[in-house]
Structures are given as structure tokens and as C-alpha cells.
Amino acid sequence: MRHFFGGLMLALTLFCAPAALAETRDDGAARLALANKFVSLMQGEELGAALSQMTSMMMPAELEGMSEDEAAKFRAVMGEVTARMMPRMFEAMAPIYADIFTLEELQALVDFYQSDVGRSMVTKSYQAAPRLAEAVQAIMPEIMAEMGNVLCDEFECTAEQRREMKAAMSQAVGR
């Protein structure tokens, strides 16, 4: 009887597997389509400007020692490269969203970002991004210093190792 039941379960599994697999493939294609739609909705007009501004804000150490003209050229190149790379970046994002989110979740995201409130959120998020990056950049030296202290406490650094850690953490944040 056990063999009969086991055989019946195997037969049902084999019989249903192609349909389940096809359903998964169909769902995957629909999820990817919605993920692409979601990603395209996130690409507001302000995105390029926001990313360019954030990129240039995160490079203060590289700008030190440059003339104003060199720093302006550096920022311009960073902005251009960022703008050129954005399509590739967004292209890489859609499959990840499709893999993580359900069809229902992706549809809800698309519906939201197509709404007036959703479009406003995108615009305001890009407006907030440079200010958020600036806030993070302002506290980064403190975070890195604390990280160095905790690491040295954990690994029982000597006084010399602690000085080296402090110098390395300061250098990491461009100070």
C-alpha cells in the first residue's frame, strides 16, 4: 500500500510539474515586465541631476589640491559618466526586483508610482537625495572614528596600532 501511495504521489508530481513550471515562467515574465515598468517610473527627470550632484559631493578628497578649473572638469566628467552609466544600472536593477518582489507587490509599486502621490514622491526623493548625502557625509568622520575605536577595543590594539587605525579611518573619509 505504501508503494502504491508513493507511486501515485510521484505520478501526480510528474504530471503537475510541467504546468507548475510553465506557471512560474509566466509569472516570472510578468514580474520582469512590471519590474522594468517600476524602474522606468523611478527614472524621473531629476535623477541625473541628483546622482551627478551626489557623486560630486562624495568626492571631496579627490578635489583637494585641484584648481577650480580642474575641480569643475572633474565634476563634469563624473556627471557625464554617471549619466551614461545610469541606463545600465537601471537595466541591472529590474531582474533583481523581479526576483525579490511578487507580482502583486510589483503591480502595487507600479500603481503607486503612476499616481500623483507616487510621482511627487519620486521628485521629492531626488530633491532630498543631495541633502541626505550631505547629512551622511557630515557624520561619516564620527562613524569611522567610532568604528576604529570599537575595532581596536575588540582586537586589543596597541597604542601605535590605535594611532594607525585612527589615521586610516581619517584618510578613508578624506581628512
Which cell numbers in the block locate residue 141?
A: 568622520
Mean pLDDT of 72-86: 83
Return d(Cα 174, Cα 78) in angstroms, integer.
18
The position carrying cell 532630498 is: 128
Give the model's pLDDT for residue 61.
58
What would the pLDDT profile of 132-159 be if each residue is shown by its tens digit? 988 998 999 999 999 999 999 999 999 9
